[in-house]
Amino acid sequence: MTAVVNIAAYKFVSLDLLPDLRAHLLTVAGDCALKGTILLAEEGINLFLAGSAEGIDTFLKTLRADARFADLEVKFSHSEGVPFRKLLVKIKREIIRMDHPTIRPEAGRAPGVDAKTLARWLEQGVDDAGRPVVMLDTRNAFEVDEGTFKNAIDWRIERFTQFPAAVQAHRAELEGKTVVSFCTGGIRCEKAAIYMNEAGIQNVYQLDGGILKYFEETGGPGYDGKCFVFDERHSLDPELAPSQG
């Protein structure tokens, strides 16, 4: 059986005429026989799709023909079956809800650290400036329970809207360290890192591409367990193989 290609991607970019864009992407993805979810908001796009290699390739070429998505970065994985039941394209207030409208990643990202650099930092225990490195999990508690970085900070939040309050309650444990926020694919930790920077916490980075890109590029050193994903694969191991429940 030909393996199904799964993609995850997001981009913070100003979007308008959302109903028209929704209709267009629903048609394009449908014509490519893809299933999954595309979220659209004025702040950007967030998508999780699966289908044949040809269908994914055609969809991405069409999407990137729009200048707003030309540099869209995509994370790939494979599965034997399609882990989604249908195709949905939704318009939302935020592509990842934080309830802090002043946090606008398009206006400027927090510094990022790539997967290979992070793996080196974790191996040596400090960053390139000699500061101790702490990993901050920005995901929900049930996701963390499936797996996380060794010794990661976990505030047991139940939804991402609780993250800002958790930062204010626990900020003392972040002082004097290099803080790397991380999540599944990068979108939550990007907003999280911006919030912490604006809150005056220094030396904050976001893990570029999240756990999935870390698995893809490094094989997952320093990570214990699997990564929960919001589809029928349930979770992925560091080789990006699904657990199927």
User: Helices 210-218 and 115-124 meet at what angle, rounded to 10?
Assistant: 80
Q: Which of 32, 183, 189, 227 is catalytic?
A: 183
Q: Check if 227 is active-site.
A: no
pLDDT tens by residue, 176-225: 899 999 999 988 988 899 889 888 999 999 999 999 999 999 999 999 99
* Domain tally, the chain: 2
User: Looking at the domain assignment, is residue 223 inside a domain?
Assistant: yes
Residue 209 DSSP label: T
Res 107: pLDDT: 57
Tell me: do 123 and 185 sit in the same domain.
yes
Whether 119 and 162 share a structural domain? yes
Q: Looking at the domain assignment, is residue 243 inside a domain?
A: no
Q: Are residues 169 and 231 in the same domain?
A: yes
What was the pLDDT predicted at 1? 43
Average pLDDT, the chain: 92
Instruction: Identify the H or E element spanning 147.
Output: strand 147-149
Backbone angles phi, psi at 29, to 5 degrees: -65, -40
Q: Which residue has the tokens 């591409």?
A: 209
- Do residues 116 and 178 both lie within one domain? yes
**Residue 128: what pLDDT?**
94
State the pTM of this model.
0.82
**Distance between CA 149 and CA 60 in Å, rounded?**
31
3-state secondary structure of 194: helix
pLDDT of residue 106: 59
State which H helix or E strand residue 53 sits in.
helix 53-64
Which residues form the domain of 70? Answer: 4-91
* Residue 140 is assigned to a structural domain of this protein: yes
pLDDT at res. 103: 63
Cβ atoms of 115 and 217 within 8 Å: the answer is yes
Please check whether residues 195 and 138 belong to one and the same domain. yes
Residue 100 lies in a domain: no
Q: What are the φ/ψ torsions at residue 149 (nearest 5 degrees)?
A: -70, 145
86 and 140 together in one domain: no
Residue 84: which CATH number? 3.30.70.100
96 within some domain: no
Question: Which parts of the chain sit beneath pLDDT 70?
Answer: 1-2, 100-109, 244-245
Decide which of 91, 122, 153 is a domain's last residue: 91
CATH number (domain holding residue 227): 3.40.250.10
Q: Has residue 241 been placed in a domain?
A: no
Residue 44 domain-assigned? yes
- Whether 223 and 129 map to the same domain: the answer is yes
Is residue 205 assigned to a domain? yes
